[in-house]
Amino acid sequence: MNAKQALKLAKDQKAVCVDLRFCDFVGAWQHFTVPMSEMSEGVFADGFGFDGSSIRGWQAINNSDMLVMPDPSTAVMDPFMKHPTMTMICDILDPITKEEYTRDPRNIAKKAEAYLKSTGIGDTAYFGPEPEFFILNDIRYDQNEHSGYYIVDSVEGQWNTGADEEPNLGFKPRYKEGYFPVPPTDSLQDVRQDMVMVMEQVGIAVECQHHEVATAGQAEIDMRFSPLVKMGDQLQWYKYIIKNVARQHGLTATFMPKPVFMDNGSGMHVHQSIWKGSKPLFAGKGYAGMSDMAMHYIAGILKHARAIAAFSNPTNNSYRRLVPGFEAPVNLAYSSRNRSASVRIPMYSDSPKAKRLEARFPDPSANGYLAFSAMLMAGLDGIQNKLEVGDPLDKNIYSLTPEELANVPSMPGSLEEALDHLADDHEFLLKGDVFTQDVIDTWIEYKMENEVDQLRLRPHPYEFVLYYDC
């Protein structure tokens, strides 16, 4: 869709305004709205000005003017606004040089796609994330100088089997037994299907939806794979739709990786493959039907996983999920079918088009543009340097002895550790100017100052259980 076609869409749909959205450095959508009287073909070349100093991780106040440039190919009618509203995703430009902004996550993803093509290895990187999330009935939290607490609640929560709900109707998924029960135990079927219907309304192809393993309304909706930038766009829509449909039902949805203690956290397994034209390049005659190229790609992912984690698992809470011995795969090994490996090769089909790898360590707090780009760059580094992946680990990793695990590297144990790995291992990200040194430095600085250090400063409620009587 070009500018003329986007404006025709707005006219045909009787839009009264256009909502312009862009992704901030951390990963949240930001927006502002202009009336149709302000829209013309000229704005697609001239853009709209805004204050870049008010966006997380972006410009200093003395250098704050920036431009948003609407991408007409992303035009779609918003499914939630009261007044007919056309929405477009925007790119960010410097108003003086008109160059694309290096800290714009979407720009980084576009450069990753361009770099892939420039290598001659392939021309399309497909990504298929599987973000998990919780649909809750109530959330309360506070943190101040003298107190700190959180309370999550769900009518599905196993802890509510004895609650006086006037009446309590039972059928609450047991801890770690929420995978695939039919209603009434799965009480959120219609809510998830409403989410799917809205996703399809804005052009997202959905493969399936289901209840996930945890109690308390854990869910998953799977999107059909798409090229990197398009999937980054779709992930933003995905989160927006889930949160807004939940709100329409008087519910709240969160992509926080670990909101419930002692039950499964929310991951975001990411399927990925490289194609050249109509040819899938990861199919071959090697292990699990994979090509040498695919195995080199896997080797790149495993080599750089601890640095990738700074983008794929970018919150302190991410590491409440990535704990050795629990449900999330923290050991950097690969296997076919084995879900305890951090990289899995799905074996659902023998079709060459289905050959892909699945990185299982990421979580849905990630900025998709950055996480997908970092994984692609790591995989390409593996291909370019013909990295050897070693032998697969087809055993259940959770049952291995400490001696058997001694030579298996693992994911970082904290956000700070992941950021340290990124500081030490990021040359692969700088190729093709995809990630700049400024992006790496700013990401580390922002995360340390605003997340790692802030958590360090505050007593944790459980510390009072452990230490008050010391």
Active-site positions read 51, 130, 132, 212, 220, 269, 339, 358, 360
How far is it between the farthest Cα atoms of the chain?
Answer: 70
Task: With CA atoms as reference, report the closest residue to 244 among 186, 197, 182, 180.
Answer: 197
CA 331 to chain centre: 20
Residues 6+ apart with CB under 8 A from 223: 128, 129, 199, 204, 205, 206, 207, 231, 234, 238
CA separation for the pair 296, 277 (Å, rounded): 20
The closest of 360, 338, 357, 361 to 412, measured between CA atoms, is 361
> Are 358 and 271 spatial neighbours (Cβ–Cβ below 8 Å)?
yes
CB atoms within 10 A of CB 18: 24
The H or E element containing residue 87 is strand 85-93
Nearest-CA neighbor of 320 among 266, 360, 372?
266
Q: What does the alpha-carbon distance between residue 304 and residue 331 come to, in Å, rounded to a whole number?
A: 13
* CA distances (Å), origin 80, targets 123, 236, 279: 36, 15, 39
HSE-CB of 352 using CA atoms within 13 angstroms: 13
Angle in degrees, CA 296, 300, 305, rounded to 5: 150
Name the strand (E) or helix (H) holding 312: helix 292-312
